[in-house]
Amino acid sequence: MRRIATLALVAAAVCLAAPPADAQGRGNAQGDTVLKFDQRTFQVREDVGEAVISVERFKGSKGAVSVDFRTVAGSATPGDDYVETAGVLTWADGDTSRKTFTVPVLQDELFEVRETVGLVLENLSEGASLHPGQGQAVLMILDVPEDNPGHRGRGSDDEPGTLRFLRDRFQGIEGEEARVVVERVGGRGGEVSALVTTADGSATAGDDYEATSEVVTFGDGEAGARAVTVLLLDDELEEGNETVELTLSEPTGGAALAEERATAELVILDADGDTSACVPDAETLCLAGRRFRVTVDWRTPDGASGSGKVDRISDNTGLVWFFAESNKEILVKVLDACRVFDRFWVFFAATTNVDFTLTVTDTRTGLTKEYTNVAGEAAEPVQDTLTFATCGG
């Protein structure tokens, strides 16, 4: 990666890459729509996985309009720091909602504080123009703290480096394709490869997913990330989340496999959950306008089990307890972020080391996700801003 002292260079790069004003649709007297990024600067930590970028119909609602978007390299390097992204956003006649797209970001071994990616809107349809100050924006990719275990030094460019899964858990929705990402770190010398294979966890090949065996290859001088696609099958059964085991093996070119991430898990999110109306009771929270059903099941080492009892605090927030009403175990929230980010957000924090499964179901679409904690381990807080991109459902 490269570093720069100021944002001026990336701003210049964005301006050079932007199309001429007439191609952007500025000054179109026939249109009343003005489009713009809703921020001039977006930020994301490199270990989050992707940045959510939002665009708004700032003025006007008449007619259907569209605009192209794309990324432009700043100080961040495509393939090493982020994945180049382009596409089209569309608004129907009368639609004034915010639209979003995502830019995948990649974690590396270097400490660089922050790097930048240019964001450009262009090629507007007839009847639309760009806001003069926010037709371009900058995405800042922030480095993780120096004590993060991912920072282990770059290694020599002559070394073959290490291959590993980008994270220890991936997810996808049944009936869609899931992307499993492998990265090369600690060196980029020579061509290297490794084999990615799937195996049954709780999911079954042929019923829940298509078995996959694919070689990922990095050329001499190449680092960054490579993606393997796994097709997830829709069996139309309400069965909760299922898992596929992922293995990285057979490295070539002298590359090593990272012990801690030579294996990973792919979680298949159930899209056939209960779509009946959410009915609140002593063990069920109905949040976000009663659209989301939240339940919790717990287990103890001595064989006891049960369903968490709930207290609704507001339309988006509730508390859960297991053993005594005075001992609250979990605070959970489901937030409607559709207007800005085109998705719902799930947050929860638990002050327990009990084995539990917290299940969230969007009753309008049936999409379900289960969040689990292992017995004996203090539960980590959850900030899930990616799963429930179901605003239009």
Contact 278, 290 (CB under 8 A): yes
Do the domains spanning 8-142 and 162-268 agree at the CATH topology level?
Answer: yes
- DSSP 3-state assignment of 31? coil
C-alpha dihedral, 250 to 255 to 261 to 267, nearest 10°: -50
Rounded to an integer, the average pLDDT of 372-381 is 86
Tokens 């119909």, located at residue: 57
In the predicted structure, residue 322 carries a pLDDT above the cut 50 = yes
Sign of CA pseudo-dihedral 79, 100, 88, 24: negative
In the predicted structure, residue 285 carries a pLDDT above the cut 90 = yes
Where do the structural domains in the chain lie, given as residue ranges? 8-142, 162-268, 285-388
**Most confident by average pLDDT, 107-121, 130-144, 216-230:** 216-230
- Whole-number pLDDT of residue 29: 33
Mean pLDDT of the chain: 84
Contact 185, 164 (CB under 8 A): yes
CATH code that applies to domain 162-268: 2.60.40.2030
Pairing verdict, β 305-307 and 285-287:
unpaired
Predicted TM-score (pTM) above 0.85 = no
Can you tell me the distance from the alpha carbon of 373 to that of 353, in angstroms, rounded to the nearest whole number? 8
Task: Of 111, 188, 112, 108, give the one whose Cα is nearest residue 156.
Answer: 188
Confidence of residue 52 (pLDDT cuts 50, 70, 90): confident
CA distances from residue 359 to 40, 108, 241 in whole angstroms, order as listed: 36, 33, 10
Which of 20-34, 35-49, 211-225, 262-276 is predicted least confidently?
Answer: 20-34
Give the DSSP per-residue string, 261-272. Answer: GSEEEEEEEBS-
**Most confident by average pLDDT, 16-20, 156-160, 369-373:** 369-373
In the predicted structure, residue 237 carries a pLDDT above the cut 70 = no
Can you tell me the distance from the alpha carbon of 78 to that of 69, in angstroms, rounded to the nearest whole number? 16
* Structure tokens that stand for 66 in this block: 């569209």
Which of 49-53, 129-133, 154-158, 371-375 is predicted least confidently?
Answer: 154-158
Task: Of 343, 347, 360, give the one whose Cα is nearest residue 284.
Answer: 360
Question: Between 3.30.1330.40, 3.30.420.40, 2.60.120.10, 2.60.40.2030, what CATH number should domain 8-142 receive?
Answer: 2.60.40.2030
Q: Give the chain's end-to-end CA distance (angstroms, integer).
A: 40
| Between residues 326 and 168, the one the model is more confident about | 326
Contact 348, 338 (CB under 8 A): no
